Amino acid sequence: MASALGITFQQVQKYESGHNRISASRLHAAACFLKVPVSDFFEGQDDIAPEGLSESEARIWAFTRTSEGQRLSRYFSQLSTPMRRSVVSVVKALLAEQKE
């Protein structure tokens, strides 16, 4: 990872130990290298919803942090716009049936 970030392994160790601070741009580069969101570096922060969300928004926020929500978002984002609209229509129909 050190070479991918253009730094020495000693510098990585200093970041890991907290001896040196890491810049936002280097943190972003590390996240990209590791293929994880930057938020993964902040323990426990994923569980704290932003203030001021409605109940519905908080439920959506929490769902998008689950592995299922992330997979669904990844797959959904790969669909064409017409296909997305179709998926939304199907989900709406399923919800209507569920309420009956």
Rounded to the nearest 10°, the torsion over CA 26, 32, 38, 42 is -80
55 closest CA partner among 63, 65, 45, 66: 63
Asked whether residue 64 carries a pLDDT value surpassing 90, the answer given is: no
Question: Would you say 22 and 31 are in contact if contact means Cβ atoms under 8 Å apart?
Answer: no
pTM exceeding the 0.75 threshold for the entire prediction: no
2 closest CA partner among 24, 50, 16: 16
Asked whether residue 26 carries a pLDDT value surpassing 60, the answer given is: yes
